[in-house]
Structure 1
Amino acid sequence: MVVKPICAVDHNIHLSPEEHARLQDCFDVIYVDFSQPLSAHIKQSELLLIHTRLNHQLIREFPKCKYIGIRAHNTDYIDRRAAEELGITLTGIPQAGEHSVAEHTFALIFALSKRILQSHNNVIGGRWRDGLQPNLELYGKKLGIIGYGNIGQRVAAIGKALGMTILLAAKEGTDADGMIPLEDVLKEADIVTIHASTRAANTPLLNRERIALMKHGSMLINTARGKLVDHTALEEALECGRLFGAALDVFEVEPAVNERICLRSDVICTPHHAYYTRETLFVMNSHLIDNAIHYYLR
C-alpha cells in the first residue's frame, strides 16, 4: 500500500469535487482550520495549502512540512524567514482576478458617486429623496490609479470607456513615460484607486501627509492592501469634509472587527471580496493545485 503524503488544505479554500480529486490522486487531503488546536495527525502534514496567515510558531507545529502553497500573488501571509530556516519551499500563484477586481472597484465607485446605499435606505425607510444630495457624474472626471499592473490597466480601460481622464502614479523614485508623481495624482484626481502591492517598508503609502494632498471633494478606493492606507488619517479627512467618501475592500487586520471607519455613512466596506468570483477562484485553485503537484512530482 502506497502511503501518500498528507496535504493540509486551509478550510477557507473551497475546492470543487473535481479539484479535490486532482489533489487526492497525489495526497492524503485533509481540511484544516488553522485557528483551532491541531491534532497529531494534522501536524504530520508535508504540504500546506493556505489562504490565511501563518506565524512562525504555527509553522513550527508541522515538523514534516516541506512545502507551503499560498493562494495569493503576494506571499506575505507567511513568516518567510521562519519558512527559510526550516527549509520549507514557499510558492504563491500568478496574479489573477484582474477583471473581477477592476469590476468591483467600479462597483464601489458607482455606489459612492451615485449614493446607492443612502438611496436604498431612503426608499425602504419611506423617505424617498429626503436629505439626498445630488449624485456625481463620472464622465469627464479624473481617475488617479496607483499601481499599474494587470488590475490597474483594466481599471484604466474601464475609466476611459466612461469618458474619464486617467492619471497614472509613477512608482517612488521612477520617472516612467505617461506617469506623473504620486503627489500630483493626489492633488488632481477626483477619484483615487489603489492597486499597488504591499510596500517593503510595511508603512502606509497614503499617510497623513499624502491624504492631506488629496483634492477637496475627491474619493478614495482601496481594493489592494489594507496597510497601504492610514485609516486614522483617512477618517480625519472624511470628518473634516475634505473627501467626498471612501470605499474599502481591504484592512490591515482581517477579518475587520469593530473598525470605526466602517460605521461612517460616507464609507462603503466590503469583506476582501473584490477577487471573489467563481471564475477567479477557479483560476486561483488551478494554479494552487498545479504548483503542489509539480512540487511533489519534481
Structure 2
Amino acid sequence: MKQQKQQWQCAVDATIQLSERERDQLERTFTVEYMDIHKATKQQLANFDMFLIHSKIPDTCMESFVKCKYIGIRAHNTDYVSSDLAHKLGIELRGIPQLGENAVAEHTFSLIFAVAKQLFLSSDNINEGKWRAGLQPNVELRGKHLGIIGYGTIGRAVASIGRALGMHTLIAASRTSAEDGSLSLEEVLQQSDIVTLHASTRGHTEPLINKRQLEMMKDGAILINTARGSLLNDADLEAALRSGKLMGAGLDVYPEEPYTNRGLYELPNVVCTPHLAFYTNETISSMNQHLLEQAIHYYNDRNGS
C-alpha cells in the first residue's frame, strides 16, 4: 500500500474542505497535498497524477498538468476545465452526479421571496427610518406563473415547491427532450411572472438569456439564476433592471467568480449570494463522498487493484 501511495500524487484544491474522516479515506490510497492550485508553480503542478477541484482552472494553469491522469470535479458540470485540452493532454475528466437538488431549490425560493417581498429594501427602509416610503406593493406568489428553464432534478424540485405555493409551473422544453405539456423557451419567457434558470451549460457557447430574451419577458417579471453564470448576459440583465423592464433579479452564480460587477449587484432590486445555493452540510458531505469514491475507483481500475 505504501508503494502505491508513492506512485499516485493527488492534489486537492483549497476550494474543497474535507473532514478528518474524508481525509483519512483519501490518504489511505494516495499521497495527498492540500493546496491552492491557482497559486502553485508550474513545477509543483507537474508533480501530480490527480487533481480534485471545485473551481475554474484556466488553460494556462492546466497546461502544467503534464503528469496528470485524472481530474475529479466536485460538480455535475465539468465546465470548470477545458474538455478539449484535457483530451489533448490525455486526462480523464469526471464530474459527480447531480446532487443537492433540495438545497438549490430551497435557495432558489429564498431569492424569489427576497425579491418578490422586497425583504432587503424593506430592511434598509427600517434601518434608515423611512418606514414604507418608496416601496411598491409586494408580489403574492400564489396564482403566479413560474417559468422553469432546465427541468432536471433541481428544476423538478423547484416545480414541486412552486406548486405547493399554488403557483402555475411552465416548463421550457430543452433542445434534446421535452416534458409533456412543456413549452418553447420563448413561450415560457412571455408567460412567466418569475423565470428561474436551472439549465446545463453543455452545448451553449453563448448565453441562453440575453437582451432578446429579456425583452420577451413580462414587464415587472423577476429573473432568478442559481445554475451557471454563463447562461445569462449580465450586462443585458443590468440594462433591463435599470430600465424598469424587470422588477428584480436574484443571483447566486456569475460569469466570473468572485464577481466584481458592482454596477449590477449594488442595484436595489438585485439580491446576490456568493454561489452557495448548494452549500449545506448535507450536500457538501454527499458531494465529497462521490468525489473521493470516484477517484479511488478510477485508481483501482487503472491499477488492477
Higher helix share: 2
1:169 to 147, 169, 172: 172
User: Aligned equivalents of 1:26 and 1:172: distance in 2?
Assistant: 42
Paired residue secondary structure (2:56): coil
- Trace 1:39-58 onto structure 2 (pairs within 5 A): 40-58=43-61
User: Aligned equivalents of 1:140 and 1:212: distance in 2?
Assistant: 23
Which residue number corresponds to residue 276 of structure 1?
A: 279
Q: Is the 8 A contact 1:199 1:205 kept in 2?
A: no
Deviation at 1:154, TM superposition (A): 0.4
- Unaligned runs of at least 5 residues, structure 1: none
Superposed CA offset, 1:196-231 (max 9, x none): 011424101112111101011111001111111112
- Unaligned runs of at least 5 residues, structure 2: none
Superposed CA offset, 1:91-112 (max 9, x none): 1100111000000000000000
Which residue number corresponds to residue 141 of structure 1?
A: 144
User: Aligned equivalents of 2:283 and 2:203: distance in 1?
Assistant: 27
User: Aligned equivalents of 2:209 and 2:278: distance in 1?
Assistant: 22
Which residue number corresponds to residue 215 of structure 1?
A: 218
Superposed CA offset, 1:228-281 (max 9, x none): 111222122112211111111111111101342111001111111111111110
Q: TM-score, normalised by structure 2?
A: 0.93
Paired residue secondary structure (2:122): helix
Paired residue secondary structure (2:33): strand
Which residue number corresponds to residue 94 of structure 2?
A: 91
Q: Is the 8 A contact 1:100 1:274 kept in 2?
A: yes
User: Aligned equivalents of 2:269 and 2:202: distance in 1?
Assistant: 27
Paired residue secondary structure (1:293): helix
CA RMSD for the aligned pairs?
1.5
Which residue number corresponds to residue 35 of structure 1?
A: 38
Deviation at 1:40, TM superposition (A): 4.0
- Trace 1:88-167 onto structure 2 (pairs within 5 A): 88-167=91-170
Deviation at 1:84, TM superposition (A): 1.2
Paired residue secondary structure (2:199): coil
Superposed CA offset, 1:132-178 (max 9, x none): 22211101111000011000000000000000011111124765421
Superposed CA offset, 1:46-97 (max 9, x none): 1100111223332232322111101010111111122112211111100111
Letter matched to residue 216 of structure 1: D
User: Aligned equivalents of 1:259 and 1:226: distance in 2?
Assistant: 15
Which residue number corresponds to residue 188 of structure 1?
A: 191
1:197 to 179, 197, 200: 200
Q: How many residues align structurally? A: 298
Paired residue secondary structure (1:35): helix
Which residue number corresponds to residue 293 of structure 1?
A: 296
Superposed CA offset, 1:28-51 (max 9, x none): 111111121327455311110011
User: Aligned equivalents of 1:37 and 1:100: distance in 2?
Assistant: 33
Q: Is the 8 A contact 1:146 1:192 kept in 2?
A: yes
Which residue number corresponds to residue 237 of structure 1?
A: 240
Which residue number corresponds to residue 14 of structure 2?
A: 11
Paired residue secondary structure (1:109): helix
Paired residue secondary structure (1:44): coil
Q: TM-score, normalised by structure 1?
A: 0.96
Paired residue secondary structure (2:65): coil
| 267-276 vs 31-40, which moves further | 31-40
Q: Is the 8 A contact 2:38 2:57 kept in 1?
A: no
User: Aligned equivalents of 2:83 and 2:121: distance in 1?
Assistant: 44
Q: Is the 8 A contact 1:199 1:228 kept in 2?
A: no
| 91-100 vs 125-134, which moves further | 125-134
* Aligned residues with identical type, % of pairs: 50
User: Aligned equivalents of 1:176 and 1:6: distance in 2?
Assistant: 45
Deviation at 1:127, TM superposition (A): 2.4
Q: Is the 8 A contact 1:101 1:151 kept in 2?
A: yes
User: Aligned equivalents of 1:61 and 1:186: distance in 2?
Assistant: 43
Which residue number corresponds to residue 75 of structure 2?
A: 72
